[in-house]
Structure 1
Amino acid sequence: MAYPDDLLSPSEHVVIHKHPHWKMLLLPVFLLLVVVAACAFLASLVSGQSWGGIAQIAIVVIGVVLVMWLTLTPVIRWRTTHFIVTSDRVMAREGVLKRTGLDIPLSRINSVRFEHSLLDRVLGCGTLIIESASDEPLEFDDIPNVERVHSLLYREVNDNPDDDYRPGAVADGRA
């Protein structure tokens, strides 16, 4: 899902648009399986009882509420969380009912670094840390391909057409 172009300035374009890494969906999917298995087990236990019909309805209702709370909510949160790098700024957006956003102009970014654990390296994600004019660095967790995003963001921050280093430019006469 591309970021809406009508929210960008006329000369601005999206360089990269990411959702958090899919690893944040592992626990909700596991919980979905546990809830479904537990509900099926409990429903089979009460099926032979005289009050089993009402108990099965209660189990299904509780199961649906748990699935919505433990699985559907994190999936929607994942889907509505965006990390966007444009030609002018870095943006982070999240939320459905309560929408929050953060914009950092590229000109205010002092440094960009990333961290990832062994598991993050295996899964191909990590934490992007942006130091700007604010007091403390901003951390964006679970960024997919964090090294590539780091490199792209670094190039965007330091992209100045007046001082671009182009190794073949002098030999080609483009200097």
Structure 2
Amino acid sequence: MAVEEVARTEFEHADESPGLLLWQVTNRWQAAHRTALTPYGLTHVQFVLLASLTWLTSRSGEPVTQRDLADHAATDPMMTSQVLRALEQKGLLERRDHPTDRRAKSLASTESGAALVNRAIGAVETCDREFFAPLGDRTPRFTDSLHRLRDRDFG
């Protein structure tokens, strides 16, 4: 007969674990975003990269490289490359010769890519507003806490 090992944890109940709760909430938030983005034919990461590219281009006017985009969006460079290929195949972005670095390519949203992401932003912001509504006036404090966790160096 097998002896069952009891999970050793500092928590009396699983719901006391901030990591488990964050994971569960993140899964629900991602599901809400999948639903919100379905009409636009975008995955969440495609949306984030296309929106980031559009934002970076409009703010700086400087050429945006794949590395710039991955850094800004805090995404893995290899995954970023794969997603950018998919966006390029959909005709939502294009790669151009970089004006000052012959080894690099700059990225640009196509006209249809910029139009699509601008429509999708409204759906994503509505989704977030509804998702985080239960926090009420605590939302800014929650956002500040998320910034602190994101910006911490886990080295």
TM-score, structure 2 length as denominator?
0.28
Higher alpha-carbon Rg: 1
TM-score, structure 1 length as denominator?
0.26
| Larger helix percent | 2
